[in-house]
Amino acid sequence: MGMRKLGLAAAAFTLGLAGGASADSGSFGDWAVVCDNVQVCTAMGFGDLEEMGSSALLKVRREAGPAAEPTISLITAGTAAATLRLAVDGASPSGLTAIPATPLEEDAERRLTELTPAQTRALLAVLVNGRTLTLMEGQNPAATISLAGSSAALRFMDDRQGRAGTTTALVARGPRPAADVPAPPQPPVIKLAPAVAQARLPTKPSLAMQAQLRDCDDDILDLGIEPEVARLAQGKIFWGMVCSRGAYNVIYRLFLTDETGGGVQALTLDYPGGEATSELMNISFDPKTQTLMNFDKGRGLGDCGALTEWVWTGQRFDVAHQTFMPECQGVMSDYWPVSYRSR
């Protein structure tokens, strides 16, 4: 099962974040791992890529800290409830022979399976030394997940959470006590500004703003793509102006103006990794929550890339949340792991 690598600058394997913390991601064989800025880590194995997306997604998730235990969940393709049997290299560990797969309310094409703590331990015991995990539905295989790289992926989690050499490690286990595992860092606190009325917004960019788009695509204003416009505060208007367009990404240039479109200022904000930008792909703004969102698509299917949110604090846009998928494996964004969080 070949991995399709994401080629976005925003998808660097190490994302430096505010406060000196970092969110790491890596690929190991047929597995990928994402750890966020508070060291919550998710390792993922993927099923075969089918017309409607990946046939399965296995997620091993663990929070940071001495007492945190791993959890395993499975997303499988299917519209009806089923009972699954999990087999590693043809053998089913005890307790993994009658596991329910329940349809998801928000996705008619997918089912969720959540293993109990005992089932999680049973699967982890054999997963890292196996070659293939098969999800059996009756006598038929519902999905197959390669285990190549699973051991390295879980070892990566152990390392990032400071578990290597302790009794809590998944792979890099040693004699040191759980008390040696560091406590998780705290997420940054962000206070959003109150929402303001959006009545009588300007509808057309001023000549001064249009002048800022001279180096954009020549025909961009002729395409008729409406700008994103919102009032952040009285006298402060946010503009997202389309500057260029690719096969599946529309790139917006960001500005702040007064109520009449004057006093044009380029708006610069930071990604979780600290990269400053005044342009974003595929944006939307929710004035009720003062939240600016963008979707950096790794390819047209939208199964890899990053979804990032910034909130207006009254002074600036602070990054608040991001989900990230480093591998183009047919997994839709609803199931991507968190790579940055705040509170």
91-143 per-position pLDDT tens digit = 999 999 999 999 999 888 899 999 999 999 999 999 999 999 999 999 999 99
Name the strand (E) or helix (H) holding 100: strand 99-104
- State the virtual CA torsion across 100, 106, 107, 110 in degrees, nearest 10: -20
How far, in Å, CA of 248 to CA of 251, rounded?
10
pLDDT over 50 at 1, yes or no: no
Contact 245, 236 (CB under 8 A): no
- Asked whether residue 262 carries a pLDDT value surpassing 80, the answer given is yes
What is residue 52's predicted lDDT score, i.e. its pLDDT?
Answer: 66
Taking alpha carbons only, the member of 329, 328, 256, 255 closest to residue 296 is 328
Question: What's the first-to-final CA gap in the chain, in angstroms?
Answer: 38
Query: Contacts by 208-211 with C-beta closer than 8 Å and gap 24+?
Result: 208/261, 208/262, 208/264, 209/239, 209/241, 209/255, 209/257, 209/261, 209/264
In this structure, which amino acid lies at residue 67? A
| Residue partners of 211: CB distance under 8 A and separation at least 6 | none
For 141-170, the pLDDT digits (tens) are 999 999 999 999 999 999 999 999 999 999
SS3 292: strand
In this prediction, residue 335 carries a pLDDT of 94
> Band of the pLDDT at 203, cuts 50, 70, 90?
confident
Residue with the two structure tokens 């038929």 = 140
Structure tokens at 27: 């690929």
Of all residues in the chain, the percent with pLDDT exceeding 70 is: 92
* Residue 254 near residue 266 (C-beta atoms within 8 A): yes
Q: Give pLDDT tens digits for 43-96.
A: 999 998 877 678 899 999 999 999 999 999 999 999 999 999 999 999 999 999
* Predicted pLDDT of residue 274: 87
Residue 331 has pLDDT above 50, yes or no: yes
Q: What gap in Å lies between CA 4 and CA 154, rounded to an integer?
A: 20
Task: Summarize the confidence of residues 227-241 as an average pLDDT.
Answer: 96
| pLDDT score, position 273 | 84
| Per-residue confidence (pLDDT) for residue 23, from 0 to 100 | 56
**Residue 221 pLDDT > 70, yes or no?**
no
Give φ, ψ of 120 to 5 degrees: -60, -45
What is the per-residue pLDDT for 322?
96
Cβ-based burial of 324 (10 A; exposed 0-12, middle 13-18, buried ≥19): buried
Q: Alpha-carbon distance 102 to 81, whole Å? A: 5
Residue 308 in this model has a pLDDT that exceeds 60: yes
Q: Name the band, by pLDDT with cuts 50, 70 and 90, for residue 245.
A: confident
Between 239 and 53, whose confidence is greater? 239
The DSSP symbol for 35 reads E
pLDDT in tens, 8-29: 333 333 333 333 334 589 999 9
Residues whose CB falls within 8 Å of the CB of residue 145, separated by 6 or more in sequence, listed in order: 30, 45, 46, 47, 56, 58, 132, 133, 134, 135
